[in-house]
Structure 1
Amino acid sequence: MSDSSSGCTEPRAAVTEAEVEALVHGICFKTGPPRALGVEVEWLVHELRSPQLPVTPERLEAAYAALRTVPLRSALTVEPGGQLELSSPPAASLMECIGTVSADLDAVRAVLAKDDLGLVGLGHDPWHTPRRFLRERRYDAMEACLDRRGPAGRHMMCTSASVQVCLDAGHEEPGPLGHGRRWWLAHQLGPVLVAAFANSPLLGRQPTGWLSTRQLLWTEIGAGRAGAPPLDGDPRAAWARHVLDAPVMCVRRDDGPWDVPEELTFREWTRSAVPRPPTRDDLVYHLTTLFPPVRPRGHLELRMIDAQPGDDGWIVPLAVTAALFDDPGAAETTYRAVKPLAERGLALPAPHNPLWIEAARSGLADPELYDAAVACFAAALEALPRLGASHQVTGAVAAYLDRYVLKRRCPADDLLDPLRGTDRRAHGKDIRT
């Protein structure tokens, strides 16, 4: 969501359907040995001592102006509702990635604290209604487009936050680290990650009945915008078809507001050339307006994990996911653990199929999701030392397994306990070193 909002640029040569398919193949899947890892951490920005109080746009603008003067290795961007996102550079190891982002977050928090502001790790803001902070043509068009399906789009834009793990697409050849296996695995492991890390049970201070309300909102945006393609073929071909058949969010222009067509797919746009022929630049932009749970961007971007509580809560889903994909033994164990789940997700693509919906609603109360989560966390714990993870990181994953997974809980339960008349929360530890 932090992609460029620039207008259309030269050259403006039209693209055909065949050219779109070829370009998507080259842009979205770049294969090779998995060597790099990245993470994008989104945060809600609130009053340091009273997060339920709204922050004025003027204070947010001043805080972000100050942050832009701070040298960071990660890219700092602002989401439409004023959420802050740090996107790490590609890292050669898990610990390098953790070290870079942790240092950048320390610097960001120090600047925000001077204005009594802080970062809050929640998948969805439990206190405030959506309010747009950024006034740009991209987000004007996005809001107009998503409003046609109801209020979920504004919540997604302005009051949600996530931990997005970025992985290399994998080898061209088959096997545990092959791109076809990793694409399949990302979609089948997705509901396990949703269930284990759900952290958004409230909206308007009230329980929604879902442990991950953020995931519920994604399903309400619609399959064309936020859904995945079927997993019944070559990933490149499936994604190219999905891109062509997805609705166009907007047709950009150099001056004035952007057009927001109704029910115009990119395939139809290439055929009709109305209101003007689409260009390669339009295709690249179209790709940034699709928000599936697994987005191929040369690498794979796993987008289904709610933002996590605590300063360092984001490290656990990053470490678990990296271990399950990049260690061959753990990848094979994970494949076997989630394979039984695949049959429950055959009717509809993610995240609209029954398995993903159950993960968002009930979390690890689902027996099959629980069994898969326990097996995957155990595989990650065994693999993390082989990936060079520190004792603190491995210990944090073990603590999460004990505190949440083995008890069929997730961070959302900590938020719900006071409303249930119980309070089983515990204090976390610094796990960066």
Structure 2
Amino acid sequence: MATLQGTRTAADHDAVIAEIEQAEGYIASICFKTGPPAAVGVELEFTVHQRDDPAAALDPARLCQALGDHAPPTLRADSPALPLRSGGSVTLEPGGQVEISSRPHGSLIELHSAVSADIEQLTALLDRVGLVLGDTGADPHRPPRRMLSTPRYDAMEAAFDRRGMSGKIMMCSTAGLQVCLDPGPAPELPDRWAAVHALGPPLLALFANSARFAGAETGWASARQRAWRGIDPSRTRAVATDGAPPAGWARYALAATLLCVRRPDGAWDTPSGVTFADWIRGALDTRPTYADLDYHLSTLFPPVRPRGYLEIRYLDTQPGRAWFAPAALLHALLADPATVSRVLELCAPAAGRWVEAARDGMADPVLARAARAVRELALARLDLPPHLTEAVLEGSTRNG
């Protein structure tokens, strides 16, 4: 999604970063664009399947034919990569999962209208060649199989393979729903940052829908989150919420290991265990630039990632148009300081229960109480037409 607040100004991207403090200051300056919360957006990922044989491997030529001029360059090098009719851009994940990234919108009503139209268009494009969108957070039919080959994805898979299969599963077999919100005014940022993290375990439990993966029951409510938990924790664990958010995020980013280093020729692989801070200190043959730091930030996958806006990443994708329910709940729960304060109170008993949320979902009584409480809080604060309120209620009660 495009940046929600303001225009990014950055240092010369080709300049070398000589000191840790330079990198920390740069990260803090670009990742939280504070101001009145004005916009909301979503990024929706879907696995893609043959309508008559959902367990069959996805044919890239067939997918390319379906997407036409909306195909991203990773699938068709000469594609103009046109946005969908309501402005959403189409990208692909390594296993062929399709992602719609909306434009930022000024209200939930505008967001619902635009994204619904884009999903309808994408569904029709796929239908022409017998393809359909999946409706869960992990592929219930197929084992992981990479469809796209790029230097980035080659390096990612090599790095993740050092820890087992979880990385490949994440890359090729999972689909998430990301909600993007403004950070809010600077004085409110610490509480809003804490609140979106506190909401993580309850909302993960409430919307978990990927118990089945590759033809078998996993025993987890969210096999998607199980896969994410098996990846290098330096880039997937939650960011600390104590202290100033920009400083905490800068520390997190510099302590994360390098996933890849871009090179004009050859593989982008990196030595195991080298962090970005190590790179600044001379661990590799070259020194990093601000462009390298920007790229490194794009390889970090915590439950909430600041990108000028807050990218909330912990939710399984939802079936059909049910994506609107979690987006609306999160928007309402960050509506004002009083609501944010109440969120922190209601979620306190569920603090840190990420594993329980992914494994047990709403069967965990602590998480279930917190999830139902914040759902009721959000519903009381929503100001939507009746049919959209009903959609939020229906979409948020599937699991209890």
TM-score, structure 2 normalization: 0.91
**1:398-417 → structure 2 map (5 Å cutoff):** 398-405=393-400
Q: 1:99 to 1:328 in 2, by over 3 A?
A: farther
Deviation at 1:401, TM superposition (A): 4.7
CA shift for structure 1 position 66: 4.7
State the number of aligned residues. Answer: 380
Which residue does the alignment assign to 1:125? 139
In the other structure, the counterpart of 1:35 is: 38
| Structure 2 match to 1:21 | 24
Residue type of the alignment partner of 1:65:
G
Mapping 1:267-286, distance limit 5 Å: 267-272=277-282, 274-286=284-296
- Aligned pair 1:368/2:369, yes or no? no
Contact persistence 1:359–1:369 (CA under 8 A): yes
1:325 equivalent in alignment to 2:328: no
| Structure 1 letter corresponding to 2:356 | E
How high is the sequence identity, in percent, across the aligned residues? 45
Which is further off, 227-236 or 30-39?
Answer: 227-236
Q: Are residue 392 (structure 1) and residue 387 (structure 2) matched? A: yes
> Equivalent of 1:60, from 60, 63, 66?
63
Shift of 1:55: 2.5
Instruction: Please state whether the residue corresponding to 1:39 is helix, strand or coil.
Output: strand
Tell me which moved more, 202-211 or 158-167.
Answer: 202-211
Whole-angstrom CA distance in 1 between matches of 2:224 and 2:189 = 28
SS in 1 for 2:178: strand
Encode CA deviations 1:345-387: one digit per residue, 9 max, x unaligned. 2xxxxxxxxx1100111111112111111111111111111xx
Q: Secondary structure at the match of 2:44?
A: strand
Work out whether residues 15 and 280 of structure 1, in 8 Å CA contact, stay in contact via their aligned partners in 2.
no
Distance 2:261 2:151 in 1: 11
Letter in 1 for 2:289: T
Cross-structure match for 1:112: 126
The question of 1:103 aligning with 2:106 is answered: no
Q: Distance in 1 between matches of 2:358 and 2:331?
A: 22
Q: Partners in 2 of 1:25 and 1:14 — Cα distance?
A: 15
User: Contact (CA 8 Å) 2:207, 2:399: kept in 1 or not?
Assistant: no
Q: Distance in 1 between matches of 2:390 and 2:213?
A: 32
Q: Kindly state the Cα deviation for residue 70 of structure 1 after the two structures are TM-superposed.
A: 5.7
User: Which ranges of structure 2 fall in alignment gaps of 5 or more residues?
Assistant: 2-11, 72-80
| Conservation of the 8 A alpha-carbon contact between 2:63 and 2:126 | no
Output the amino acid matched with 2:388.
V
Which amino acid counterpart does residue 120 of structure 1 have in structure 2?
G
**Structure 2 CA distance, aligned partners of 1:245 and 1:70?**
37
CA distance in 2, matches of 1:281, 1:15: 14
Specify the SS of the correspondent of 1:335.
helix
Tell me which residue corresponds to 2:323: 314
Shift of 1:319: 1.0
TM-aligned CA deviation for residue 100 of structure 1: 1.0
Q: Deviations over 1:246-265 (max 9, x none)?
A: 10111211122213221101
Give the Cα–Cα distance (whole angstroms) in 2 for the partners of residues 327 and 282 of structure 1.
36
After superposition, what is the alpha-carbon deviation per residue over 1:178-236, rounded to whole angstroms, capped at 9, x for unaligned?
11011111111100111000011112211111000111111110211211232232111
- Root mean square deviation, CA, Å: 1.9
Letter in 1 for 2:393: A
> Does residue 241 in structure 1 map to residue 262 in structure 2?
no
What residue number does 2:348 align with? Answer: 339
Q: 1:70, 1:251 → 2: CA distance?
A: 29
Query: Normalising by structure 1, what TM-score?
Result: 0.84
**Structure-to-structure mapping, 1:134-153, within 5 angstroms:** 134-153=148-167
1:171 pairs with 182, 185, 208, which one? 185
Partner residue in 1 for 2:4? none
- 8 Å contact from structure 2 (residues 274, 283) kept in 1: no
CA distance in 1, matches of 2:102, 2:153: 24
The corresponding residue for 1:230 is 240
